Amino acid sequence: MESYPAIEDHGLIGDLQTAALVTCDGTVDWFCAPRFDSPSIFAALLDRERGGYFQVAPHDVRYVTKQLYLPGTPILITRFISADGVAEVTDFMPVTGERATDSHRLVRMVNMVRGTMRFRVECRPRFDYARESHELERHPNGYLFRSPSSTLTFNPVDPVRQLWARTGDVRIEGGDLIAYGTLNEGDTGGVVLETGGTEPRFFPPDEVEGMLEWTRDYWRRWVERSRYTGRWREIVERSAITLKLMTYAPTGAMIAAPTAALPELIGGTRNWDYRYTWVRDTSFSVHALLGLGFTEEVSRYMNWLDERIREAGDHQNPLKIMYRVDGSSDLHEEVLDHLEGYRGSSPVRIGNGAADQLQLDIHGEALYAMHLADEQGIRVSHQVWKSTVRLVDWLCEHWDQADAGIWESRHHPRNYTFGRVMSWVAMDRAIRLATRTGRPGDIKCWTEQRNRIYDQVMARGYHRGRGSFVQAYDENMLDASLLAMPAVGFVTPSDPLWQSTLDAIERELVSDSLVHRYDPIHSPDGLPGHEGTFNMCTFWYVEALARAGRLDDARLTLEKMSTFSNHLGLYAEEIAATGEQIGNYPQAFSHLSLINSALTLNDLLDAEADARRRR
């Protein structure tokens, strides 16, 4: 590989247990197996020389590329267009089901639409984040890459056998496979990569076509379950598919992103591993998924969350902020010194040292999700409710302390306003659940603590001199997380205290509709460098504007934000000052907040239209 592609120049494919990124030039440069959080097989995204990749692309041809998804699916089509012809590479991963497996297929089919092109296929795996060597074995029906910890079979789709024999050549270079072949109009060929296999085989074309049709039909049936018919249907649908792609089917847990160590600043050190399930992120997705009608996905996630609540409540401990998709919590952070990082952005980190931080707000997000699910008939068991009571009782005793906050500061703990607001949410939703369902709980204590939190936030979280709620008590820095205050019901959108807060955030954190998390220059997180605007915060801003009655402003901001998605409708974590996407990609928080803002704004626009018709 000659250079790093832009982060946004990738499409995402997956099988609901793992995922891969495919560049606009037909290169798989990120793929971990057998799970999202497993060691990588291809990681050229983090080191173009050492990381490993799998490319299918025209050879010695000047071309331009275009990418699109097959409508209603995550089946990716990369088109190569030249004066000599047009070819398409179709990439997909057949859905594996709800039983965890080591066997995952990455299917790459080439179709020559017109003309003639010579193609190059390079398969250069680098197992275990390029820490393991491997051997390549030639078999009668394909090739087998074998490392100490895993295997990868290279299975040609049947016509390739004749193609290579007639027009091309295959060679092995240092354990890697390089092949060339010429395609004429109407020719098709392809490869099925399979993890965990031991015996390569040729795949008949009709079998691959069957996998493609089954995958297409699976996703289209799933999308048809959505009840969303409002404005922005296309971007909402793509965001829903993206969230589904980041959900681990055996447990229902959703990862924050399928990548690790993509920088929040090119050349900087803010490079984190996001291949885990944050309680905060996934709990906020409950509102989005329920709003679209995907109750089955919510039910499965709630079962996963219920187990985490039982583990915490039964031991009188707080919830951890993140877990692996199987619910385990060992996320030891380490640095891969042998990888240079995306465009030289080091260190490359795997694992996540923030996992053991105290972040009080996540209890609010968990109870917020439980309350929303209960309203839709997704109710917790008796045992889970008992554990929930113990967890809320623990929070009653511990909410009034400094913590690491929503942005996971690795600096000193502080009394974050957002953490207090979400602790209020935890108490409030626990009271509502107990009252509505008639289940036991210390409602008197919960009510007293809820009211104490409210009074404290109003007394110490609002800075009279600034005329705004602020990031932490006894400080004067703004924080975009406070844009969520009206959405969770802590303040009404018309409250003068909130209106002045929104005005302050617009003056200091909003730049041409894009929103910074906090002061981008005077960072409070204890890390060097700065970052771009945070996509989730921009979508929160859209929702805050809509709830404040500024529907035209909200609509324009959402439309502007849509111009920052990539060509496939995908968003990373942040937008750099240059306008390019940065941070881990695609980001669940970006897509779920897009859905939530679109749902809220659409409903309010409909209400306004109804009111006009009645006048």
Q: Checking phi first, is residue 410 left (phi over 0); if not, alpha (psi -120 to 50) or beta? A: alpha
* Locus of tokens 């087998």: 144
SS3 576: coil
Q: Which residue has the tokens 């750099």?
A: 576
- For 407-439, b where at least 16 C-beta lie within 10 A, e where not — what string? bbbeeeebbbbbbbbbbbbbbbbbbebbeeeee
- The helix (H) or strand (E) run that includes residue 206 is helix 205-224
- The Cα 53–Cα 126 span in angstroms is 8
Exposed e or buried b for every residue in 171-207, given b needs 16+ CB within 10 A?
eeeebbbebbbebeeebbbbbbbbbebeebbbbebee
pLDDT at 225: 96
User: Looking at residue 593, what is its pLDDT?
Assistant: 98
**DSSP classification of residue 587:** -
Task: Single out the residue of 251, 280, 119 nearest to residue 188, CA to CA.
Answer: 119
pLDDT of residue 530: 73
CA 49 to chain centre: 26
Q: Tell whether the torsion through CA atoms of 244, 247, 253 and 256 is positive or negative.
A: negative
- Taking residue 394's Cβ as centre, other Cβ atoms within 10 Å add up to 18
Q: Please list the ranges in the chain whose pLDDT falls under 70.
A: 1-2, 158-168, 520-529
CA distance 571 to 256: 12
Q: What is the DSSP letter of 403?
A: B
Give the strand pairing for 19-23 and 10-14: antiparallel
Domains of the chain listed by start with CATH number = 10-204 (2.70.98.10), 231-614 (1.50.10.10)
Enumerate long-range contacts of 461-467, CB under 8 Å, 24 or more apart: 461/417, 461/420, 461/421, 462/497, 462/501, 466/504, 467/500, 467/501, 467/503, 467/504
The string of DSSP codes covering 311-365 is HHHHTT-PPPSEE-TTS------EE-TTS--GGG----EES-GGGG---THHHHH
pLDDT at residue 1 in the model: 47
How do strand 462-463 and strand 334-335 relate by DSSP bridges? unpaired
- Please tell me the distance from the alpha carbon of residue 58 to that of residue 61, in angstroms, as a whole number: 6
Contact status, residue 536 vs residue 589, Cβ threshold 8 Å: yes
The model carries a pTM of 0.96
d(CA 384, CA 108): 44
